[in-house]
Structure 1
Amino acid sequence: MAEYTDEEKAAYKKKKAAVMARMVELLGRVNSGELTDAESAELAAMFEGAGAGLDHTLGVKYVAFAPELVLELTVTRDHVQPWGITNGGVYASLGESAGSFAGFIAAGGTSSVMGITNSTNFLRPSTPGDVIRSTAHPVHTGRTSQLWRIEHVNAASGKLLATTELRTVVAARG
């Protein structure tokens, strides 16, 4: 296991703080409706460059942050059940990611937003090669709780594949 010097640790923390500050700045621009296409691409690159977590493992790409949060996933053989259709857990995960991140933006980027209930309904299958586009729609964005409806569609056909209803809690960062 690699050992890091105090200087390397300090440099990492400084870089992380700068990235977080820029992310909060961009999220503020999302909320004010002033986010440019270039800034949206910069924000998406921040997530793709993070290189950690389930979104990275699944291959999630953030496409848009305003007016609604949109993400996409190209289905591969790694996402399917033994008989070749997308595992339902993929849709539930996409719903959790889209709704939680949309909730984080709605809360101003200053609070922790966590899913507390995830109900995903499967309507039609997708298979390797299909692109799932998930869009988070606010139902209720309260001070301490939120409710999001996420629609998962086949990007090529526009057909609805699944829906997720995600209830979140908004908590102050400690």
Structure 2
Amino acid sequence: MQFHEAAARAVTEELPPEIVDLINESNEVGVNLDSHLGVTYTAAGPNGVTMRLEISDKHLQPWGVTHGGIYAALGESAGSVAAYIAAGAGPAVMGTSNHTDFLRPSKKGDVIVTTARPEHVGRTTQLWRIEHRNERTGKLVALTHLKTAVVPEPVVDSKPNGKEEGSRG
């Protein structure tokens, strides 16, 4: 089962752990940001998505705390997967705004649990609240609000740079 098949199933039911593991296996091929960060999805269903990340040296600022961009990226990933599921796992979704507040630091060895829950799910737009919590303390370390657009048509143009061959644009 591939990601899209798992997401289609998650539209109507909370995925069992063995199916969530298949989503993680699809990340292991190293072709997306989640795989480069080391994200592990732990839950996916019609009411949201949860993932976890153990903070390592590659996630840190020079002074030893987690880079804020990690939380923004986790929010975008969790929210986008949740939005895709909420849209019926058919149309593409893409983020239109990502606002992440950083509330307290985390460091190497901390495990961050990121959970995306819907605030608004409409036909063309969605708004997601994504909490990032320290697994050990349970404390909220960052909070993301992600707005997404639902795009029913393909978003990839088959022509380079969107221009006809031989066109000067």
TM bucket, shorter chain: 0.7 to 0.9
User: 1:143-154, aligned counterparts within 5 Å?
Assistant: 143-154=123-134
Aligned to 2:36, what secondary structure does the other structure show? helix
8 Å Cα contact 2:14/2:44 also seen in 1: no
Q: Aligned residue for 1:118? A: 98
Q: Answer yes or no: is 1:162 the counterpart of 2:162.
A: no
Name the aligned partner's letter for residue 59 of structure 1.
Answer: G
How far is the alpha carbon of 1:39 from its aligned partner?
A: 2.0
Partner of 1:127: 107
Where structure 2 has 5 or more consecutive residues not aligned to the other structure, the ranges are 155-169
Partner of 2:30 in structure 1?
Answer: 51
Larger displacement relative to structure 2 (154-163 or 64-73): 64-73
Partner of 1:9: none
**Aligned residue among 46, 49, 54 for 1:74:** 54
Superposed CA RMSD = 1.5
The percent identity for this pair of structures is 47
Question: Which AA in structure 2 matches 1:51?
Answer: G
Count of equivalent residues: 153
Query: What is the deviation of 1:55?
Result: 1.2
Instruction: Return 34-43 or 141-150, whichever deviates more.
Output: 34-43
- Structure-2 residue corresponding to 1:28: 8
Q: Which is helix-richer, 1 or 2?
A: 1
Find the counterpart in structure 2 of residue 13 from structure 1: none
Aligned residue type for 1:49: E
User: What does the per-residue CA deviation read over 1:111-156, in whole Å, with 9 as the maximum and x for residues that have no partner?
Assistant: 1111110000010000000011100010001111000000000011
**Alpha-carbon distance between aligned partners in 2 of 1:49 and 1:82, rounded to the nearest angstrom:** 27
Question: Runs in 1 of length 4+ with deviation above 4 angstroms?
Answer: none
Task: Compute the TM-score of the two structures, normalised by the length of structure 1.
Answer: 0.82
Alignment of 1:105 onto 2:74: no
5+ residue gaps, structure 1: 1-18
C-alpha distance in 2, partners of 1:148/1:111?
A: 17
Which piece of structure 1 moves more, 163-172 or 37-46? 37-46
Q: Which residue type is aligned with residue 107 of structure 1?
A: A
Give the 3-state SS of the residue equivalent to 1:65 in structure 2: strand
Counterpart in the other structure of 2:160: none
Kept in 1, the 8 Å contact 2:3–2:22? The answer is no
Q: How has the CA–CA distance of structure 1 residues 110 and 89 changed in structure 2, closer, same or farther, with 3 Å as cutoff?
A: same
> What TM-score does the superposition give when structure 2 sets the normalisation length?
0.84
Q: Which amino acid aligns with 2:138?
A: G
